[in-house]
């Protein structure tokens, strides 16, 4: 086998692996969207200096965040709805993150203090806010 043939085989294998990864990411996105709407979002943990791009899903009792590049259908981070608080975005405070135009930065906090900072598109913030402020299904049903 000549050097040119070896290089061609390596390039072919690389292209096939890239195509396989793209198909898996596409199938994962469809699988995640089957369980509720997904929104682009970035998260920044208190101990981390960088933003990580991902997908945010509002569940009935929790907020799930999925990393963009992973293939698993399990959430990378989950925050339970009960005890979760979200700050209001500061006026004029936007963060520049590729893939999120004019993202608003808000703080998620819970009983243990600050959990993370979220960067969401301005049209998504009211949905997250209303989801958080509404009562979870079945919560305080038998109040007399």
Instruction: For 9-65, write each residue's pLDDT tens digit.
Output: 999 999 999 999 889 888 888 888 888 888 889 999 999 889 999 999 988 888 999
* Closest by Cα among 92, 122, 104, 123 to 51: 104
pTM: 0.77
Q: Counting Cβ atoms within 10 Å, is residue 42 exposed (0-12), middle (13-18) or buried (19+)? A: buried
Highest-pLDDT range among 8-17, 78-87, 111-120: 8-17
Q: Where are the domains of the chain?
A: 1-34, 37-144
> CATH for 37-144?
2.30.29.30
């Amino acid at each position: 086998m000549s050097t040119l043939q070896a290089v061609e085989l390596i390039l072919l294998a690389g292209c096939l692996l890239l195509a396989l990864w793209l198909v898996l990411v596409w199938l994962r996105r469809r699988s995640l969207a089957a369980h509720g709407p997904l929104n682009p979002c970035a998260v920044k943990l208190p101990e981390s200096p960088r933003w990580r791009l991902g997908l945010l899903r509002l569940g009935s009792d929790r907020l799930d965040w999925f990393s963009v590049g992973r293939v698993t259908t399990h959430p990378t981070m989950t925050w339970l709805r009960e005890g979760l608080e979200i700050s209001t975005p500061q006026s004029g405070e936007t963060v520049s993150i590729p893939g999120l135009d004019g993202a608003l930065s808000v703080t998620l906090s819970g009983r243990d203090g600050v959990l993370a900072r979220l960067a969401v598109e301005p049209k998504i913030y009211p949905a997250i806010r209303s989801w958080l402020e509404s009562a979870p299904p079945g919560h305080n049903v038998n109040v007399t």
